[in-house]
Structure formats: structure tokens, C-alpha cells
Amino acid sequence: MKFLDWTIVALMYFGILAVVSLTKRYMRGVSDYLAAGRSAGRYLLTISAGIAGLGAITVVANLEAGFQSGFAMGWWGLTMSLFWVMVTVSGWVNYRFRRTRALTLAEFFEMRYSRRFRVFAGTVAFVAGLINFGIFPSVGAHFFIHFLGLPDSWQLFGLTLPVFPTLMALLLTTAVYFVFAGGQVAVMITDFIQGAFANLVFLILAVYLLALVGWDQVGEVLSQTPVGHSKINPFDTGFVADFNFKYFLIGVIGLFYGAMSWQGTQAYNSSARTAHEGKMGGVLGLWRGRSQDVFMTIVPILVFTVLNHPEWTGFAEGINSQLAGISNESLANQMRAPLVLTRLLPTGLLGAFAALMLGAFISTHNTYLHSWSSIFIQDVVLPFRKTPLSPKAHLSLLRAGVIGVAVFIFFFSLLYKQSQAILLFFALTAAIFAGWSGAVIIGGLYTRWGTTLGAWTATVSGVTLALTGFILEQAQRSWRESGTAFWGIMDWVGPDRALQWAAWTETHLPNGQELWGWAMWICALIYVAVSLTEQAVRPTSFNLDKLLHRGPYAIEGEIEEGNGTISQRWRMLGITNEFGRRDKLLYLTTWCWNIAWVAVFLVGTIYFLTRHVPDGDWSQWDGIWLNFWHTKIWIELAVAAVVVVWFTLGGVKDVKRLLNSLSTKAIDENDDGFIDR
């Protein structure tokens, strides 16, 4: 890191601090703190939520996974685009949730089911979120230590202090300040700045690195992978572990079942100006990630290339020597790509990437701190009160929750030792909540027959299944690393039997993604079966119109004014009376873009499934696949360049509109998430 690099990082850090100081006065009430006064526009929503959901840890996680799977899994991901369109253009789950005007998901659970269920669901969401969030500071701090080449310790008044906890404390303190100062208002605006910057840097880095390494070298290296381990041919990946077709298929199902289940960015679900604006933000989200997706796809491949190509032998030896000094295998895998980038990127771009990662770290942490602390206070603590708090006391309690979450994740990161890939850890911990919540959310928003008993049984079953998997995974890690089978729990049956059980779990225990898949099916079936059984015994019909503020329960200003009546043909594409001309054009473009890629997928799949493959040798088609991936990357980069400019300009307009709305609207002290029963 040279002076220019450090200057870029400093400008990012102090720039967003200044923005927080300038905008904190716009946060005037509880609903402003929790949901930015429900005044956010589509561009602001999509860019801010995008970087909030990305985070430094997600960049590291995707670089880690991409190194293993290469391009091949991207082929199956082409169909994901169609499923994403189906979810977003229909406003699946998110649109109806915004119509409830709930400030948290568990508040909706109280509206639909019961207060006790709200408290239980809020508790599960909070605990699962804390565990999931617990490794964020650790991975982020390790990234900066290795990427910036920081020493293990530093001196302060003659004392020698470790860098790792010091860096975590500094970054967490910054994120806490953001939430304290302006709640969701400050979080959203600073996330927008960081998101717009990140999209631009991702685009520049992808182009630079691709030109530096060269596609010819990429092709030479990727063509040498063994049979069954191809990184370019999706039909030759039978032996790729973890990030394989099964991983992808579970993710597809999760798109529909788990829509809005994960609550790490829960405030964005309630922050849209209207339900329609939130839906359009989701559609724009399909375009926002172009530069990010290309970066996540191409960089792990380029890292794999320079570590395996003969012309980069000396370079690879230096990287491998550094990795050998990292004792934790999981951490070493995570740091591989960052270490390569430190040597590949020139002055200026090195600082830009460091600033990007700093912004991603802060944006995710302030968003998650805001989300999990809000869920704890709103859904676990306050429902026990018979009367609402004053706005001042309410805000003080919410801020106290932020400190509590920050302290917990600091010590969790300090003490917890990772044993598997980050994305698999995410899936495993998320399953504690997301494994069952999809059934309860969908049933609550779309059926009149879903019952509270059905919600309870599905929830208890899902939590039990996920926690069992999490405990067994940690026990397996204990056995693998120390030889202590299940922390000694099974020693009473004898050492031989204990080790047999431990060895059996190593080959049969599902990973986090597989556990999530099982939880989704089981919990959905339980919710439906129990609800319908109860309806057969005691028929009831829930008032969805009241929940969604439809018909006689409609609220002024909650429905967008479009261009009149929409024909049935338009409605088949998800277009409603709330759509303007530009909305229709965006929808049509989105459909066409994604259907075109699905058509490519179908034609290619049919072609290759009908080919004769002697002895399972797919290498004769490697040239075709390399040309395909090369062409696709440059198409994506061209689209990304347009999107970066388009979304940044739209986001700036949305920020101005948000601040104007917050400064002029009347404060409703009763809009605080408290339901009086």
C-alpha cells in the first residue's frame, strides 16, 4: 500500500463519517430509526440493500467458493435468472409484506398469528442472526490484516497490543456510531455511497485483471483439470464437492420458499415509499449486481490461473508460502484470493479495492447491527409491555440493543474457530430461522386457512432440526481436530463406539445447504398438514383484506397511481394498475434479458446431453465452453457499465427525495411497531 492507496481508503472512511454527521438530524422518530420513515425510492433501495447484503465477508466467501467451482456452476445459475425474475416481478412475499406496514417480520407474525408466536419467532431470528453474524468481524479483520500486510501487534504507551482485536474493535465502533447517529436513515444513505463506489470499482477491477492475466492463460489452465472436476464444462463436474448442482438446486427452491426469510437486512423490507416502489427496487436489483457478479465470477478463475500456470510459478510459490503460515485451513482458503490481489493490483487500484472492502465491511455491519438489535427490542422485549414506551425511551432502548449485539459478535469472533466454507456456515446458521420461516410467511400472507398451531409446529420442528445439525457439525469438528468424539459426550458407550459414530457423521452429516433443503420440505409439509387438519376440526377464515389494507381497510398514499386499467396480457407479466410507462419498459427489458439466457441454457443443455462422450472425456468441447464464457463475461461487463451510471444518477435523486420527505412529514409517535391488544 502506497500513499495514494492509503489516501483513497482515508477518503472513503472520513467521507462516510461526514455524511452521517450531516444527515443524522433527519432521523426524528422511531419509524425513521427503524424504516427511514418508509420514504425510500427504488434506486436508493436497490443500491443500499445490495451493498448491505454483500459485505466484506461475502466478497471473501464468493472468492473462496468460486476458486473451487469455477465457471461450471454458472451454467446452472443461468436458470436462476428466470426464477429471480419470477420472484421479483411478481413482488412475491415482499409486496404483500410491505402492505401490512409491519416494521419487522415478527410484528407481522403477531398480526397474523399471536403475540406469543411473535416473541418466540423474534427470539429464534435474533439468536440465529447473532450466530451467523458472529464471524463477520473476524473474517473482515483477517482480510484487512493479510491484504494490507499489517503486523500481528502494535505499540501503545509502551504496551504491546494485538492487531486483530484492535482492528475489529475500531471497525465495529464505526458501524455502531452510524446506527446510533441516524438509524436506518444514516445506514441507508451511507450504504448508497458505498454501494455506488463498489459497483464502479468492481467493474474497473474485473476489466483490469482480465487484461492483465489474459484469456489464453485462463484457457490453458482450466483445460487441464481432471475428469469430473471441470471448471468450465458444467456436464463434467460430478466430483466437485459442496458447491455442486445439489447446492444450486436447493438455492432455487430457497428463492421461492425463503423469500424475505433472512432478516439481516430486514429494515429494507419496510423502508420503501410504497409497496410498488419496493417491488420495483427488487426488479432493479436484478440489474444492479452485474459488475459485482462478473467480479465474483472471473476473479477466482484468474486466481486459480496464476497459481497454476507455469509462467506464474514464482508468483505462486510466494503466495503458497504465505498461506502455509496460516494454521487454520478454513482461514487459509479464505485469504488465498486476497493475497493474490495484493500482488496483482497496482497502486491506486489496490487502494480502491481496500476502500471498497472497508465500505462493504461497515455497510454490512451497520445494517446487521441495526437489524438484529431492532428485532431483539421490537419483538422480544417490547411485546411484554402493556403500554408503549415514549419515543425518547424507545430510541434509547434500541441503541442499547446495538451495543449489546456489537459486544457479542466481538467476543464470538475472538473465540470461535471456523471449520467449513463461509457460505456453508451461512446456510447452516440461516437454516435455524429460514428453514421454517418460509412456510409461516407464505402461509400467513397468501392463505386464509393457515393457523397459529400450524405455525408453531412448523417452527418448533424447523428449529429442532437445524440446531441438531449445527450441534453435530460442531461436534464433528471437535473430533476431527482434537480426536475427542462429540466433546466426550459419547465416551460412556466406549471409545470404539464413540469413534465409530464420529467417523459415520463425517461421511453422512449433511452440509449447511443440504440441511436447509431438508428443513424447507419438512416444515412446509408440517405447516400445511397441521393447518388443514385444524381447519377440518374448527373452520376459520383469516381477514387478509384487513392485514393487507385492501378494500375498506385501504390507507391513503399506499397505492401508486399508474396509467389506468391494465389488460390481462400485461397482468400475466406481473404488471398492475400501479405501473407507469417506464415501469412497463423496465419489466419488458428484464423479462427479455433473462429469458434470452434461459433459452441459451436450454439449447446448450439439450445439445450436450445428446452428445456421445467416449469414456466420459468431455475435453473435446473445452474450446466451445471457453469461448462461451469469454463472450458472456464481456456482454456482462458492457451492461454493467451502463447500469453503474444509470443507477448512481437515480440513487442521487432518491437520496434528495428521501431527505426532503423526512424533513417535511409530520411525526407519528404511534408508528412504533407496538400492537395494542
DSSP for 545-594 reads HHHTT-GGG--TTSS---SS---HHHHTTT--TT--HHHHHHHHHHHHHH
- Can you give the pLDDT at residue 404? 92
Contact residues for 25 (Cβ-Cβ < 8 A; gap 6+): none
Q: What are phi and psi of 159, to 5 degrees?
A: -95, 140
pLDDT score for 116: 93
Residues 6+ apart with CB under 8 A from 189: 19, 23, 44, 48, 182, 655, 658
Q: What is the pLDDT at residue 240?
A: 43
Say what the pTM is.
0.80
Nearest to 80 by CA among 281, 249, 244: 249
pLDDT at 445: 94
- Grid coordinates in use for 636? 456482462
Domains, in order of start, for the chain = 3-419+611-664 (1.20.1730)
CB 511 within 8 Å of CB 420:
yes
DSSP code of residue 154: E
Buried b (16+ CB within 10 A) or exposed e, 217-243: bbbbbbbebeeebbbbbbbbbeebebb
Say what the pLDDT of residue 485 is.
Answer: 47
Q: Please name every residue paired with 504 in a beta bridge, in sequence order, or none if there are none.
A: none
Q: Count CB atoms within 10 A of the CB of residue 666.
A: 5
Angle (deg, nearest 10), helices 422-446 and 42-69: 140
Measured distance CA(273)–CA(661) in Å, rounded: 10
Nearest Cα neighbor of 175 from 6, 408, 406 is 406
N-to-C CA span, the chain: 59
Cβ 37 vs Cβ 186: under 8 Å? no
Nearest alpha-carbon partner for 120 in 440, 393, 522, 449 = 440
Q: What is the DSSP string of 186-230?
A: HHHHHHHHHHHHHHHHHHHHHHHHHHHH-HHHHHHHHTTSPTT--
- Rg of the chain taking only CA atoms, in angstroms: 25
Q: Which residues pair with 159 in a beta bridge?
A: 156
Calpha distance 133→335 (Å, rounded): 19
Give the model's pLDDT for residue 114: 92
Average pLDDT per run of 10 along the chain, which is 677 residues long? Answer: 89 90 86 88 89 69 66 72 76 86 89 92 87 81 81 77 87 90 89 91 92 88 72 64 57 78 82 86 84 84 86 85 74 78 89 88 88 91 86 91 92 72 60 83 93 94 81 62 51 56 59 71 92 93 91 77 61 71 84 87 84 68 85 91 93 92 82 71
Short-list 543, 138, 578, 565, CA closest to 361: 138
Q: What is the pLDDT of residue 24?
A: 83
Residue 52: partners with Cβ closer than 8 Å, 6 or more residues away: 187, 191, 195, 264, 265, 268, 363, 364, 367
